[in-house]
Amino acid sequence: MLKIWGRINSANVRKVLWIAEELGLPYASISAGGAYGINDQPDYLAKNPNGVVPLIEDDDFILWESNAIVRYLAAQYGGDSGLYPCDARIRACADKWMDWTTSTLTEPFRAVVRGVVRTAPDKQNWAEINDSIKTVERLLVMVDRELASRPYLSGDTFGMGDIPMGCFVYGWFEMPIERAEMPHLRKWYECLKQRPAYQKAVMTPFT
């Protein structure tokens, strides 16, 4: 059985849980990282020397890096679901948004989460938080524009390219902050919220 190591309040772990749910894969979720520890123990480090989550064990195959895991599961088990596009150009566009989310959006988004969700109210620095919010907004405008011309970041249908951004956008819309109106991003998010796999794997308490 597939084993998924990680804490469910991690966006990177949510990616993996989400794709597993979309594929209907049986899996065991093993809490690790953050308050759970484990990821600094020798047995875990032997599997993932980075000491971070997520990590999967698919029988005797071990893999870390969240986007690589999403691609692997979609390719290995997706069949004709369209989650892993056969067309190289369509797949490259999905890859582009997956990697852009990780390389460009992650750090400013984490700064917002740290400031709003993971800092006690009496210690919050709203000048810094608002600067981070503005940075995230400038980046999300690019996503909103993309979604003005197509229903999904993966193209005409939902696919793996939507998963990393979908995990972040849940926090973006659910955090108690003021945010600029982005109608196409909002419409996409409302569509994701209708997916049972998204509800189960992503729409968990945001902590």
> How distant, in Å, are the alpha carbons of 8, 21, 91, 107, 169 from that of 36?
11, 23, 35, 23, 25
User: Could you tell me the fold of the domain covering 2-77?
Assistant: Glutaredoxin (3.40.30)
Q: Is the pTM of this model over 0.85?
A: yes
Q: Where are the domains of the chain?
A: 2-77, 88-201
CA angle (133 as vertex; 112, 122 as ends), nearest 5:
50
**Which residues share a beta bridge with 61?**
58
Q: Are 162 and 192 in contact (CB under 8 A)?
A: yes
DSSP state of 191: H
pLDDT tens digit sequence for 47-87: 999 999 999 999 999 999 999 999 999 999 999 899 999 99
Q: What is the pLDDT of residue 207?
A: 82
Q: Is the confidence at residue 205, as pLDDT, over 90? A: no
User: Could you tell me the fold of the domain covering 88-201?
Assistant: Glutathione S-transferase Yfyf (Class Pi); Chain A, domain 2 (1.20.1050)
Question: How many angstroms separate the CA atoms of 159 and 147, rounded?
Answer: 14
Q: Is the confidence at residue 42, as pLDDT, over 90? A: yes
Q: Are 21 and 196 in contact (CB under 8 A)?
A: yes
